[in-house]
Chain A
């Protein structure tokens, strides 16, 4: 309350109260305006980079190729009837679900191992294991591309040195799919690790002690204490990762460019091919928006459940 309004009373003793209220109101209004001004850059940024493009993409997806005529859901119906797009749906689901599952599992195991390392060593390991997540993805994917290269691959060189036949990592359908999933898992697992480690650290030690006295084995503590206590974090990280992984672009674009024979295309890379490279922007927009209703519904239910549970268990 160190504003000028407080000192007015002594000098202007005639009617200080109404004037004070008036200036406080003004201040209130001024503060709200200041707050709005301070937030304005962010609001503008969100509107211009998120909200406007989303609605514009929805609008585009409802136009014909020349962007002259409104065609309703024709782009979506056409896409669904095309075997090449059906393959993209399958691949995207396979890629996202497998990669997220692997990331969650590896992240969970790493977090547990990390949680049991005491003192300074934990910080060192944590830092080392976070490296894949910190390096720009396109750069690290280039390195993987080298590793998977049929002629100069360090992996194949090692295999040959051990007496095995070289593997065409990116040359056949399933090898390429597995390679793409592996790189995404390598990149994303540290994020899960760090989130789960934070969640593990927040479980009170006394719950484990109570469970130990109640008769729980290490496995039962994991099932009955750790997992339920981490449930919210697990749900949120899986949801977030699903959204990001479904939208993944860099890995496929750099490693396989959708090949061999379109067998690794995901929504994002396919949308790029159709929309930018082939010049059919409305159809590209339809491809990129395809998962929006599914993920939005999933997000709604997951977040509702998370909110309900966090209200229940927070003390």
Chain B
């Protein structure tokens, strides 16, 4: 029983600044939920409210079936991994990991057993006598995780735990965290600003912006069916292309017009859904770079070829990014490295409209 339930929580600071504006979230037992969003979106504040490190202005937080609004952090049965690790510099690795157990008056044998077990799992057994200063960033990160694991708490909280690591180590530790969660499936709330971390780790991703939840869903769902322009742009790298467009109707068929020369027919299965928006002035076509590719064989239904002057070519090895401009708006596509993309030359690209999104820019909603 370690569900976490967040009900209409609000966090206001002096001067009426609202960091979190009344969010609701249900986190199931054993679930790995990632809160993701740009800095200042309220994700860390939400996590700190769950931890009890920030007071809640209004609303309720439930952990394991109990309201914990007025319960101090030490009685919430949670463990937290901080961005800067927050290891006690004057204690050895063993003492750091044992500290919580020692305060909870566990027997020496039990403390040793648990620390050894966690240290073995995290491969830090040979570091137990060292002080944090003598550890590398990755090792410190493991110790911080070990300190959380030994407590066997109801909920793990991670506050941007990988942001201080270099890119290579970050990927490695991401896998470690996933492995640990598979071994110890404790309910986890993980905060990050990195959408790749969110996508790779989460059972469910919560995208936050300006103190509200934009969308909650499984990583694939957020990727394929974003509900707002913010989510569409935030999830996925390189980001989705947003191209201002008009929706035209001619002889019962709909067309997305990007410029005088460029228009794509709307796939038939979307015609009914988009018809009410014909003629609207604030429409934006959302199409991911991976859905703008080089041409190969015959186009399938919903796929359309178009010629474009390529501005910049970025070879990435396994693929090549091409950048071009439509009506003054920069867009990108992902093509095969052997497709012969050359900067400042025209190239025939293929847009896969089956994966398009039509966005109403005034509301920010995906239609």
Q: Give the B-binding residues of A (Cβ under 8 A).
A: 204, 206-207, 209-217, 220, 224-225, 228-229, 231, 309, 312-315
How distant is the Cα of A231 from the Cα of B90 in the complex, in angstroms? 10
List B residues 73-98 near A (Cβ within 8 Å): 73-74, 76, 78-80, 82, 84, 86-90
B297 contact set on A, CB distance < 8 A: none
Query: Do residues A214 and B53 form an inter-chain contact, with CB atoms below 8 A?
Result: no
Contact A215 B104 (CB under 8 A): yes
Interface residues of B in 30-76 (CB under 8 A from A): 51-53, 72-74, 76
Docked Cα-Cα span, A213 to B147, in Å, equals 11
Q: Are B131 and A313 in contact (CB under 8 A)?
A: yes
Known: A206-B82, A207-B88. A214 touches B100 (CB 8 A): yes
The 4 closest A-B pairs by CB, nearest first: A214-B100, A313-B89, A206-B86, A210-B86
Most chain B CB within 10 A, of A204, A215, A313, A315, is at A215
- For B72, the chain A residues whose CB sits under 8 A away are 212
A207 to B76, CA, bound (A): 18
Q: Are B133 and A312 in contact (CB under 8 A)?
A: yes
Q: Are B86 and A209 in contact (CB under 8 A)?
A: yes
Residues of A within 8 A of B88 (CB): 207, 210-211, 224-225, 228
A231-B89 Cα distance, complex, nearest whole Å: 12
A313 to chain B, nearest CB (A): 4
Question: Which one, A213, A216, A229, A312, contacts B78 given CB within 8 A?
Answer: A213
Closest B residue to A206 using CB positions: B86
Check B103 against A216 for contact (C-beta < 8 Å): yes
Verify if B286 is at the interface (C-beta below 8 Å from A).
no
Residues of B within 8 A of A207 (CB): 86, 88
Chain B residues within 8 Å of A212, by CB: 52-53, 72-74
Q: Cβ of B84 and Cβ of A213 under 8 Å apart? A: no
Chain B contacts of A225 at CB under 8 A? 88
Given contacts A212-B72, A212-B73, A213-B100, 11 further A-B contacts (CB under 8 A): A204-B86, A209-B53, A210-B88, A210-B147, A212-B74, A213-B53, A215-B100, A217-B74, A229-B90, A309-B90, A313-B131
Q: Are A312 and B53 in contact (CB under 8 A)?
A: no
Query: A9 CA to B76 CA in the complex, in Å?
Result: 74
Report B86 CB to chain A, min CB distance, Å. Answer: 4
Tell yes or no: B323 within 8 A of A by CB.
no
A residues near B78, Cβ cutoff 8 Å? 213
- Please measure, in the bound complex, the distance between the C-alpha atom of A209 and the C-alpha atom of B84, giving whole angstroms: 12
Q: Does B324 contact A (CB under 8 A)?
A: no
**Shortest CB distance B96–A (Å):** 9
23 A-B pairs with C-beta separation under 8 A: A206-B84, A207-B88, A209-B53, A209-B80, A209-B82, A210-B86, A211-B88, A212-B74, A213-B53, A213-B76, A213-B78, A214-B100, A214-B103, A214-B147, A229-B89, A229-B90, A309-B90, A312-B89, A312-B133, A313-B89, A313-B131, A314-B133, A315-B89
